[in-house]
Chain A
Amino acid sequence: MMRRCFVVLAAALTFGAGPALAEDTVPVGAIEILSGPSAAYGIAIRAGLELALDEVNVHGVLGGRKIALTIEDSAGLKDQAINAARKLIGRDKVIAIIGPTLSNEMFAVGPVTNERRIPTVGTSTTAVGVTAIGPFIFRTSLPEADVIPVTLKKAMSRGVKTIALVYANDDVFSKSGFDVMKAAAEKAGLNIVAIESFGSKDTDFSAQLTKIKALKPDAVGISALVEPTSGVLLQARQLGFGSETLFIGGNGANSPKLGEIAGAAADGLIVGSPWFIGKPDPANQQFVADFRKKYSKDPDQFAAQAFDALRIVAAAINRAGAADPVKLREALTQTTFSGVTGPFAFTAGRDPASAAGVVVLVMQGGKFGIAP
């Protein structure tokens, strides 16, 4: 008996030990912006992923194996994001990649991971065309094309007929948001009186805003990241825009930072959101409570989407029945999930299927609330 055990053990050591050890965990990668000027997004996403990881690893996947999550920093740079993807696939042998943070980066990384047949799930990439990169590219973030029409409908119910659009022209996220906003405004029958652009690192918007003010539009739509959006609002108030002009934010405005940076200048701005901290359902309230407990701060949309994404991937690994990227891709397409961002499934084009979870928010006193 003793001797037989020993033989089995020896055989295991000789033939199975290497792979068996490697298979103790299921390697999953993530590429997010953890340093540089846009690190706030990646850090929020990392927080969401790690919170979900704690939850998933209580029971593990595939009958008790833990997910080993490796998060690489892209610094917001396409080259660094591609290197991170190669490292994750080549060295860490990940079976799925979450991220990268920006649509810009996804357009660089997606073709690489798609060719290597590694399912790649964007949690914050909302630009048009992201999932068209290839069959291995997914996203859980609702594209702006689904969110903006809901926001504009709310604006029109308040009597908005004319609109001016401003956007950051040097970043795919903002430009794509603008394209969507313009198309949605045209489709809704709004009269677009002016289109102005700026650079996402600009701090001065006075020329564009002065021009818009002279045209007296009912609303101003802003498609930019939260920092320039705040800058636009602060300067708009200096230039005398009052409550008669409704400011409409794109996805970038949907961050608690807007209230922190712009303060009272942001009051009255409306924005559509796939998620809201104040959504009353128990799953969401549990998430918010857990997040606050772990990080001593409030989660944002990016953290919430990341939190759902990792759990969607974990559930798909279970359905795939093996730590295999191609089987995982098949399993992901069959997703039906209910998360903190609402009910979730993928379309045939690997985009989120439903806009049912969208809430229109209004900024008041530095905080978002659900718009009446």
Chain B
Amino acid sequence: MLAQQLINGVLLGASYALFALGFTLMFGVLRVINLTYGFYFSAGAFAALFLTRDAGLGIWAALPLAAVTAGLIAVALDWLLLAPLRRKRAPELASLMVTLGGVLALYSAATAILGPDIRRLPPGLVDGTVFELAGLRVATPQLFILVASFVLVGALVWLLNFTRLGLAIRAMAENPDAAGLMGIDTGRTAALVSFVAGCLAGAGGVLIGLNFNAIHPYMGESMMLRGFVVVIVGGLGDIRGALIAGLALGVVEVLTAGYVDSGLKEAVAFAILVAVLWTRPSGLFGRPALRRA
């Protein structure tokens, strides 16, 4: 049973990590706790629903299209909500409140237009085969999430460290003003970061929606709390940290539920968050902030 529980934990953790990747990227580069992030997740899942159910596309065509849709929504929302504040150099709290207001308005509007009902992707969209090896079971959609989270971490690490765009993004994360003086178009870079983060959220929404088979306007909201823990424990903007923290959170929750008491799993998970921040205020893998004198 322990082996199956560890697998359960890793699969759950992979879905947390997948959700948190774009969030931590946005957080790390744009220095804004962008609460609209959860909405891109819902938007990606709904885009995939319409593309597969109404337009009749297969999942492999719908997944990138849904991700791009969510990415474009992210760019539009960043331009609408946050770009004016960046220009005015508004304090971080103002940006946080704007995204809070924005995301509540978006969830309510989406519920009013789409209805609160839970929808499911058309049956048979992915092969529901469950792989069984020595009594351990993993379903196909769960494997997708696991593979996707590792592949996307790899892709992001490559993007950030080995491309010119990555260099620009890192420069901007370090110091937006200096980056601007060095000739980096910070507005364009911010839009690109939003786009990539939105795509990641959208793809996460599709894959997680596929696994739990429940798509509704508020689905992003319920992931946000876990997303926060993963981003903070992993270290702001730390992609690898998010993956490790996500997996760790999943395993801790599952082991607590499996061996201690299922009612305590959140208490334990969030107590660990507090403990991590006590001992390592910049997150498990975060380096202390040297800049910002």
Q: What is the interface of chain A, defined by CB distance below 8 A to chain B?
A: 35-40, 43, 169, 196-199, 201, 203-204, 206-208, 210-211, 214, 227, 230-231, 234, 238-240, 257, 260-264
Contact = CB atoms under 8 A, between A and B. Distances in A.
B130 A199 contact: no
Nearest to A194: B262
B231 interface: no
B212 A37 contact: no
Nearest to A42: B116
A264 B124 CA distance: 11
A214 to B, nearest CB: 5
Contacts of B116: 35-40, 43
B139 to A, nearest CB: 4
Interface stretch (B67-75, B146-154, B159-167, B253-261): B253-261
Nearest to B11: A206
A210 B8 contact: yes
Given A207-B8, A231-B212, A257 B117 contact: yes
Interface residues of B, number: 39
8 contacts: A43-B115, A206-B254, A207-B258, A208-B257, A211-B1, A230-B214, A231-B212, A257-B117
A210 B1 CA distance: 7
Top 8 A-B pairs ranked by shortest CB distance? Answer: A207-B257, A206-B8, A39-B116, A207-B254, A207-B258, A238-B139, A203-B212, A201-B222
B108 interface: yes
A238 B132 CA distance: 10
Contacts of B257: 196, 198, 207-208, 211
A123 to B, nearest CB: 19
B31 interface: no
B280 interface: no
A8 to B, nearest CB: 50
B108 A35 contact: yes
Interface in B96-119: 108, 111-112, 115-118
B130 A238 contact: yes
Contacts of A264: 123
A346 B253 CA distance: 45
Contact of B214 (A36, A39, A231, A240): A231
A208 B137 contact: no
Interface string B242-274: 000000000001111110001101100000000
